[in-house]
Structure 1
Amino acid sequence: MTIEPDKILFRKAKLEDKAALLVLEQAVVDAERPYNSQIKPHAYYYNLNDLLQSENAWLQVAEYDNEIIATGYVQIRPSKQSLTHANHGYLGFMFVSPEFRGQGLNKKIIQHLMSWAESKGVYDFYLDVYNDNQAAINAYQKLGFKPSLLEMKVNTKS
């Protein structure tokens, strides 16, 4: 779908957006389930109340024709003691509705999020992405992200 860029509104999410955000959260869960078969049927990833109200978080949305079409958040978190930075920005809830993908919305949301965190003195950013999700990896690498730490898992029950 081609959109009219001047009709996209980028803004901070509000409490009134929570119902729409819960629907989009399930879209994220559904999109990630192929990469991890152990995700519960009705999993919830995010504490939306905290993300919407915390002074240490910014939940960004893109809206088109009064519908939220893209999301993302940055949360300022304490870093490991072994690192040179005391805090970092953790990025999550990165989602663009399928019909709006490929038009740079994710990039713009990440730029908004990083700019907000930088205004708070945070310049180091982390995010998680499934190793097999090459499309997401490519998108993040275009923004300057590089692989940092590989999480490995095993399930001994199966």
Structure 2
Amino acid sequence: MQISSAKESDRDEVIALWEACGLTRPWNDPSADYNLALANETSAILLAHIEGELAASVLTGFDGHRGWVYYLAVTPDFQKQGLGRRMMVAAELWLRERNAPKIQLMVRDDNEAAIGFYKALGYDVQPVVTIGRRLD
């Protein structure tokens, strides 16, 4: 398995992976998210390829206060093989290299499988409420 940073030319394949894994929502434009991540030095999309085939992705970024993870996705054919864990290690390394003191991510409260996955990696459900507003 090789992990590398995404390029412009990877966009369609990566977004197809995000869609196959159920990570996109009608109110979020994954193409805009992809473009913004590539345009900023404070974020990256890391990709894992196995024998030339896209197997996993993770979008990570550092806002100067916390590291964040989005779009952790593993191709259904490669799930349950430790790739999600390896992608989180890669995201954590990327953030450590930028001196991020903490890593956070958001998971929908009804996604028990994802919550269990992150707990197994040593992440804790934080006692916070996320408050937001769309700026469209």
Q: What is the TM-score when the length of structure 2 is the normalising length?
A: 0.84
Retained in 2: the 8 A contact 1:11–1:61?
Answer: yes
Mapped to 1, the partners of 2:93 and 2:16 lie a distance apart of 27
Aligned position for 1:4 = none
Retained in 1: the 8 A contact 2:4–2:47?
Answer: yes
Following superposition, the deviation at residue 32 of structure 1 comes to 5.1
Mapped to 1, the partners of 2:97 and 2:11 lie a distance apart of 26
Following superposition, the deviation at residue 151 of structure 1 comes to 4.5
Q: What amino acid is aligned across from residue 44 of structure 1 in structure 2?
A: D
Aligned position for 2:69 = 91
Q: What amino acid is aligned across from residue 143 of structure 1 in structure 2?
A: L
Retained in 2: the 8 A contact 1:26–1:43?
Answer: no
Aligned position for 2:115 = 137
CA RMSD of aligned residues (A): 2.2
Q: What is the TM-score when the length of structure 1 is the normalising length?
A: 0.73
The answer to which of 46-55 and 64-73 deviates more is 46-55
Secondary structure in 2 matching 1:74: strand
Aligned position for 1:61 = 47
Asked if 1:44 is matched to 2:34, the reply is: no
Mapped to 1, the partners of 2:7 and 2:96 lie a distance apart of 21
Retained in 1: the 8 A contact 2:5–2:45?
Answer: yes
Retained in 2: the 8 A contact 1:26–1:44?
Answer: no
**Identical amino acids, percent of aligned pairs:** 22
- Check 1:147–1:52 CA distance in 2 against 1; reply closer, same or farther (3 A cut): same
Q: Deviations over 1:47-100 (max 9, x none)?
A: 21221232101211111222211100111114xxxxxxxx11110011101111
Asked if 1:146 is matched to 2:124, the reply is: yes
Gaps (5+ residues) in structure 2?
132-136
How many residues were matched structurally?
130
Aligned position for 1:22 = 15
Following superposition, the deviation at residue 150 of structure 1 comes to 4.3
1:109-120 equivalence runs, <5 A: 109-120=87-98
Mapped to 2, the partners of 1:43 and 1:23 lie a distance apart of 14
Question: Which of the residues 3, 28, 31 maps onto 1:10?
Answer: 3
Between Structure 1 and Structure 2, whose CA radius of gyration is higher? 1
Asked if 1:107 is matched to 2:85, the reply is: yes
Gaps (5+ residues) in structure 1?
1-7, 34-38, 79-86, 153-158
Retained in 1: the 8 A contact 2:23–2:71?
Answer: no
Q: What amino acid is aligned across from residue 14 of structure 1 in structure 2?
A: K
